[in-house]
């Protein structure tokens, strides 16, 4: 709306009290939410969204995928209506349900998407070059591919600006590690808790703050208790945006220990931490490794290696000057991911797609 466009977001909700769906206005954007009632191989079944798309009036359809079934049917609706379709390809569809059906789905779905996706969309957006170069589906869409990263809000930069005027030594003294994200197996949080046990042998006061919720929470809480870390690990669940900013402020570093899974294609919390002037340690996998400059804005470590992760954490705890330097460099890099910059790149892509769509219609 601030750029002069009318935007409607049609999405889902996992709120157990929302049985029939809802419509709300968020900063001038209409958000339509449909409840998730059925799930197959970790994939929500959201037929009402397709029917809503068939009746909605719009000039450009922007799909955020990949949700098997929903993504391709939504694109098909746009194609049948002869409207431009832009797809932001957030990750390769992958289920971690490793029964025979899950393994078969992980092979069949990307195999067919390599052929069908280029026919269904006008433009495909990948969020990092590294992920695009390692995705078999995205490699089939090269002629339609653009690289546009995710963005972050101005509140992270404004909070960081205030911090620059204050004493920034407190977070170094606290020795606090921060994790922000879903508590799902592919996020590797169990490895981070295991790493903390090794860290505390060298840095006894080190603690871990975990923000986020998910299906693995109870298992992770039991892991922390079993390793004797229940007093050193705090599980805060989902928190309000203002509290999230305070958590970043009080942390020494952010750690994103994702496993080598295609589900972690970007890592927006990396940018949030950088904007707040914090160094980041992340797994060296496609997506996160495109955001972090190893040794300059953070450290990249092999995934699924708690001991290597612990060494990297200890290294930063013992090098306060490097923590400050990485924080400053990260903050400067994060500026280019401000939503005001990213939004204009999408606006340009919409205009190009719309012109091509008009040209296609006039020729037919």
Q: What is residue 299's predicted lDDT score, i.e. its pLDDT?
A: 98
Does residue 322 sit within a domain?
yes
Residues 121-161: tens digit of each pLDDT: 999 999 999 999 999 899 999 999 999 999 998 888 876 55
pLDDT value of residue 344: 92
- Are 354 and 265 in the same domain? no
In a domain, 83, yes or no: yes
Q: Do residues 81 and 171 both lie within one domain?
A: no
Query: Could you tell me if 129 and 245 lie in one domain?
Result: no
Sign of CA dihedral 215, 193, 177, 316: negative
Low-confidence residues of the chain: pLDDT under 50:
1, 165, 167
One domain for residues 199 and 307? yes
Distance CA 292, CA 116 (A): 33
One domain for residues 292 and 161: yes
- For residue 61, being part of any structural domain is answered with yes
- 214 and 109 co-located in one domain: no
The residue behind tokens 């929302």 is 18
Residues 164 and 266 in one domain: yes
Indicate whether 304 and 166 sit together in one domain: yes
Do 147 and 166 share a domain, yes or no? Answer: no
Task: Please check whether residue 2 lies inside any domain of the structure.
Answer: no
Whether residues 354 and 305 share a domain: the answer is no
Q: Which DSSP string do the residues of 78-140 spell out, in sequence order? A: HHHTT--EEEEE-S-------SHHHHHHHHHHHHHHHHHHHHH-SEEEES-HHHHTT-HHHHT
Is 1 within a domain?
no
> Could you list the residue range(s) of the whole structural domain that residue 261 is in?
154-337
3, part of any domain: no
Mark whether 212 and 254 lie in a shared domain. Answer: yes
Q: Please report whether residue 300 resides in a domain.
A: yes
The continuous run of DSSP H or E covering 350 comes out as helix 339-363
User: Are residues 137 and 167 both part of a single domain?
Assistant: no
- Rg of the Cα atoms in the chain: 22
The model's pLDDT over 164-183, given as tens digits with 9 standing for 90+, comes to: 545 455 656 679 999 999 99
- Provide the number of structural domains found in the chain: 2
The per-residue pLDDT for 209 is 98
pLDDT score recorded for residue 165: 46
Residue 22, token pair as written in the block: 């809802």
- Kindly report the CATH number assigned to the domain that includes residue 228: 3.40.50.2000
158 located within any domain:
yes
């Amino acid at each position: 709306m601030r750029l002069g466009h009318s935007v409607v977001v049609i999405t889902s909700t996992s709120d157990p009290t929302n049985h029939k769906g809802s419509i709300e206005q968020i900063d001038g954007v209409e958000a339509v939410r449909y409840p998730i009632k059925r799930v197959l191989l970790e994939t929500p079944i959201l037929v009402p969204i397709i029917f809503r798309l068939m009746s909605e009036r719009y000039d450009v359809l922007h799909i955020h995928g990949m949700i098997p079934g929903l993504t391709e049917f939504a694109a098909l609706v746009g194609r049948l209506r002869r409207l431009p379709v832009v797809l932001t390809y957030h990750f390769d569809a992958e289920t971690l349900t490793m029964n025979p059906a899950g393994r078969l789905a992980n092979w069949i779905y990307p195999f067919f998407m390599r052929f069908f996706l280029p026919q269904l969309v006008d433009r495909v957006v990948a969020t990092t070059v590294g992920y695009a170069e390692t995705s078999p589906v995205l490699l089939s869409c090269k002629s339609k591919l653009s690289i546009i990263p995710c963005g972050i809000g101005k509140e992270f930069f404004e909070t960081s600006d205030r911090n620059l005027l204050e004493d920034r030594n407190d977070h170094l003294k606290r020795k606090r590690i921060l994790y922000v994200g879903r508590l799902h197996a592919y996020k590797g949080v169990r490895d981070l808790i295991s790493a903390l046990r090794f860290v505390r042998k060298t840095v006894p006061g080190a603690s871990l703050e975990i923000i986020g919720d998910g299906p693995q929470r109870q298992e992770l809480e039991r892991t922390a208790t079993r390793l004797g870390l229940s007093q050193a690990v705090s599980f805060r669940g989902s928190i309000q945006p203002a509290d999230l900013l305070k958590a970043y402020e009080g942390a020494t570093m952010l750690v994103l220990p994702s496993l080598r899974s295609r589900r972690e294609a970007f890592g927006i919390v990396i940018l949030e931490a950088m904007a707040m002037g914090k160094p980041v340690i992340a797994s060296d996998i496609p997506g996160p490794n495109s955001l972090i400059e190893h040794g300059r804005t953070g450290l990249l470590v092999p995934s699924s290696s708690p001991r290597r992760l612990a060494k990297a954490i200890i290294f930063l705890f013992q090098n306060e000057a490097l923590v400050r330097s990485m924080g400053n460099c990260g903050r400067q890099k994060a500026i280019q991911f401000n939503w005001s910059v990213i939004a204009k790149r999408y606006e340009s892509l919409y205009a190009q797609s719309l012109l091509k769509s008009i040209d296609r219609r006039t020729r037919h």
